[in-house]
Amino acid sequence: MAAPRASLHLVASTWNRGTRGIRGLSSAVAPENSQRKGRTLLQFLANRFYDVEILREYLFRKQISKVHKENRSFTYIKERYGPYIAGAYFVLKQGGAVKFQGKEWIRSTGRGYFSPQLLNFQAVPIEAVDASDCAINYEGLDNLLILKELQSLSLQRCPHVDDWCLSRLYQLADSLQELSLAGCPRISERGLACLHHLQNLRRLDISDLPAVSSPGLTQILVEEMLPNCEVLGAEWAQGLKPGPEEQSRDTASPVPA
């Protein structure tokens, strides 16, 4: 059992390097013309050879598990240094930025994201997190939800933040004042309905959410739901745009990956 699995691993890793481009394209939801060729070639092979089919499935699984791996919690750091350091470490590792109370923003600087000076802030609560463009998902959110003093959270353009994640934000209801969800491709009005728990919210950015079916109406309903909150959303005319123009805007905006 061990031998074939090891060889499969080898094959997969070499293939992985060679077909990275094609694989990336094949996972796209809407294939473009330039992508179609590579896609159909792999599809053609997969339809005829079981090995290729299994290989593609294996690569697909690997892609999924990579996101999960990146979002695991750092239990050891949390136990040793406390929740603030664990949260900061997680955000910096993902490529975001954190702000300890009364301190400057700390941004990740490429490889050396874990600087020893971080350990000086063990007892200082984190008040703001900027996780824009991070691959954070439902499980990774664990690391942020333990930051009970968090006042400002930015999840702009996070590709894996979805409605399920929003349903967990109630745990920050006591402290959270600012929340930005702009540009998250998987957030819809169904998730936004859960934000009614956040009664201390002062500012909410829900602009440019492609999965929301009627942005104008949603914004009005969210404003009704959170009367003390300033809701930044779609301009009133956005829902009225003619069809073709909207389509061109959609294709122009790159989907963050």
Partner 1 sequence: MFRGAVRLCAARGHLGRALSTRSGGSTLDWAGKVSEIKKKIQSVLPGGAWNPLYDTSHLPPEHSDVVIVGGGVLGLSVAYWLKRLEKQRGAIHVLVVERDHTYSRASTGLSVGGIRQQFSLPENIQLSLFSVDFLRNINDYLAVVDDPPLDLRFNPSGYLLLASEKGAAIMENNVKVQRQEGAKVCLMSPEQLRNKFPWINTDGVALGSYGLEGEGWFDPWCLLQGLRRKVQSMGVLFCHGEVTRFVSSSNLMETISGEEVTLKRIHEVHVKMDHSMEYQPVECAIVINAAGAWSGQIAELAGIGKGPPGTLQGTKLPVEPRKRYVYSWHCPQGPGLETPFVADTSGAYFRREGLGNNYLGGCSPTEEEEPDPGNLEVDHDFFQDKVWPPLAQRVPAFESLKCLVHLQVRSAWAGYYDYNTFDQNGVVGPHPLVVNMYFATGFSGHGLQQAPAVGRAVAEMVLEGHFQTIDLSPLLFTRFYLGEKVQEHNIF
The count of residues interacting with partner 1 (CB under 8 A) is 35
The interface with partner 1 within residues 3-32 (CB under 8 A) comprises 26, 29
130 pairs with which residues across the strands? 97, 154
Binding residue (CB under 8 A) for partner 1 from 32, 164, 174, 249: 164
Binding residue (CB under 8 A) for partner 1 from 22, 45, 124, 194: 194
Which of 182, 194, 136 shows the shortest CA–CA distance to 160?
A: 136
The interface with partner 1 within residues 101-140 (CB under 8 A) comprises 138
- Min dist. Cβ of residue 108 to partner 1 (A): 27
If one asks whether residue 56 binds partner 1 (CB under 8 A), the answer comes out as yes
Binding residue (CB under 8 A) for partner 1 from 130, 218, 231, 233: 218
Binding residue (CB under 8 A) for partner 1 from 167, 175, 200, 238: 167
Spatial separation of the C-alpha atoms in residues 124 and 102, rounded to whole Å:
9
Binding residue (CB under 8 A) for partner 1 from 90, 143, 172, 189: 189
Cβ-based nearer residue to partner 1, 224 or 235: 224
Spatial separation of the C-alpha atoms in residues 74 and 89, rounded to whole Å:
9
Segment contacting partner 1 (CB under 8 A): 9-17, 91-99, 151-159, 165-173? Answer: 165-173
Q: Count other Cβ atoms within 10 Å, centred on residue 233.
A: 22
Binding residue (CB under 8 A) for partner 1 from 87, 185, 191, 233: 191
- Min dist. Cβ of residue 163 to partner 1 (A): 6
If one asks whether residue 81 binds partner 1 (CB under 8 A), the answer comes out as no
Cβ-based nearer residue to partner 1, 124 or 173: 173
Cβ-based nearer residue to partner 1, 8 or 124: 8
**Chain residues that interact with partner 1, rule: CB under 8 A:** 26, 29, 39, 43, 46, 53-54, 56-57, 60, 64, 138, 163-164, 166-168, 170, 188-194, 196-197, 213-214, 217-218, 221-222, 224-225
